[in-house]
Amino acid sequence: MANVWRAFGAFQRKQRERRKYRPDDQLTLSELVRNADRLVPLALGAIRERDFVLQPARPIIVRTDKPRTVHQFEWLDQFIIDYFAEWVAERTRALLPDCLFSFRPMRSSAMAVERAAAFVACVPHHERVWAMRRDVKSYGESLQHTHVLADFAAALGPSPELATLLGEICRFPKIEADGTVQRNTRGLPTGSYVQLVFENLYLLALDRELECVPRSLYLRYGDDILFLTLDEGAFSSAQARVAAHLHDRGLEFNESKSRQLGLSPSHQAGSSRGDVVCSSEFDYLGARITFKGDVHLDLKKQRKVTGFIRRKLAQTASHFPTASPDEKIAALIATVRTLCTERGIFRTNPIHTYVGRVADDNALRELDKWVAQTVLKLGLGRGFKKGLFRRYPYRRLRELGLPSMLHLTRTNGLR
């Protein structure tokens, strides 16, 4: 263990001096894995001795559903940050309320959509559901460090060493566009698990306050807040509570994504009044929920899913310019299977994110048909024609391994 401690200190000192470290000073990956549970206490000792500081993080652009800037740390710094985040997550798991669905084991955005749909489906047709949606603007980048440290102390008790480590993570050095190094003044490192953990803790007081409102349903997924109620007075009160709490925490909501709705059956929707829009459906986490409780894929997310699949299939087809049609189709089907099974942290898969929550069988059948047509179009080098299915019937494509979104959704294969 002394070797790990010496290697840990040497690695940090050599990094600060910007010199190459000798092989006998190097902390190897095997040592890191074998001593993972004991490395953080060593880091705490280094913090007490002021021998541990984070190296400047380099901003990089990654593309998920849109271009995002994440902060890339040295690998050992990233390990310490992620290990600390996992430690906090495990010890605060029991504090998280039932209404919170983001970044938790056995929870997902699809489950939040299902709960919202179930609440609306149980409402009698003569009742009206009042719906409030709020999206917090730049949530992870807007967390105030004083509140983050206070939430940490309230959840886990006083711990000077860990509070010092969290303070170092909050004020991490980062390389600016002009090459200078500046300390972070607000928010937590983008792209790190630690940001997601403290996003859950940051609005706990609001979660506990609104989840207990009678005849209502409150849900939160990260920065996305949904409040459904049958009581118009509770609807107005919830708007005021959310606005006051976000202001106290130094946050703002995104006006373009915020909605106030009065939900009722389509033949009773009526006209809008004030800032409340009367409707028979609403969008939530990429799904469109009707007053009957049916869940559809909204048009924007549908285009995102088909665009994602089209790009991946076109990339596959470009790798086999001289292959026979049968070989191309086999490769394209393998790509579709991979897209339906792969998951990632930094790379969002729209199929899992959006399609898995859809309960509209007709929409899923249309998506399956579109995928089959795209496979045949790229495999045979022709446009969209019904005649393509004469040579390769849909049943044959399924026998060759083409997955069905409808089947996978029914069997929870996309959850």
pLDDT at position 3, please?
A: 45
Q: Please give the Cα distance from 21 to 12 (Å, whole number).
A: 10
Q: Please give the Cα distance from 185 to 287 (Å, whole number).
A: 35
| Averaged pLDDT score across all residues of the chain | 83
**Tokens 């609104």 -> residue:** 210
Are 191 and 200 spatial neighbours (Cβ–Cβ below 8 Å)? Answer: no
Name the range with the highest mean pLDDT among 11-20, 182-191, 267-276.
182-191
Q: Where are the domains of the chain?
A: 57-66+97-293, 299-410
Question: Tens digit of pLDDT for each residue in 308-328?
Answer: 899 999 999 999 888 888 899
Question: Tens digit of pLDDT for each residue in 372-408?
Answer: 999 998 988 766 666 777 888 888 898 889 998 888 8
pLDDT at position 11, please?
A: 54
Residue 218: beta bridge partners? 227
Q: Please give the Cα distance from 332 to 314 (Å, whole number).
A: 9
Structure tokens at 160: 């000077």
Of 116, 330, 139, 94, nearest to 229 by C-alpha is 116
Res. 134: pLDDT tops 90: yes
Q: Tell which CATH classification among 3.40.50.1820, 3.40.140.10, 3.40.50.2300, 3.30.70.270 matches the domain 57-66+97-293.
A: 3.30.70.270
pLDDT at position 57, please?
A: 93
Of 359, 352, 356, nearest to 308 by C-alpha is 352
Of 203, 234, 196, nearest to 220 by C-alpha is 203
Amino acid at 124: P
